[in-house]
Amino acid sequence: MSKAITDKVILSSKPLQISGMPGFEYLAEGKQSSGRPLRYFVVALYPSGHPFLLMGMAPQERFDEALPEFRSMVESFRSKL
């Protein structure tokens, strides 16, 4: 939870597997304290039962452009646990 982000809404959520690690992803949106809308891509992975959170965020008008790069970041994640 962040007090700097208001009007938070989860747009979608789904389970996933990255390199054999179970987890889930969700897309969300909210507003900065200035009122500027942002979108978030959040992935939680659980290698060996330890949580790792990966997050990308961008202004709504640039989010679709940035999403492939966020997904590439997640796909490249490797745990050393």
- Tell me, yes or no, whether 65 lies in a domain: no
User: What pLDDT does residue 3 have?
Assistant: 63
**CA 73 to CA 30: how far, in whole Å?**
22
- Tell me, yes or no, whether 75 lies in a domain: no
User: What pLDDT does residue 22 have?
Assistant: 92
- Tell me, yes or no, whether 62 lies in a domain: no
- Tell me, yes or no, whether 63 lies in a domain: no
Q: Which domain holds residue 53?
A: 1-57
- Tell me, yes or no, whether 51 lies in a domain: yes
Answer yes or no: are the C-beta atoms of 56 and 39 closer than 8 Å.
no
Strand order in the sheet with 5-18: 5-18, 21-32, 37-45, 52-59
Residue length of the chain: 81
CB-count burial class (<10 Å; 0-12, 13-18, 19+) for 43: buried
Number of domains in the chain: 1
> Which mean pLDDT values do the consecutive 10-residue runs of the chain (81 residues) have?
72 93 93 88 91 92 95 90 69
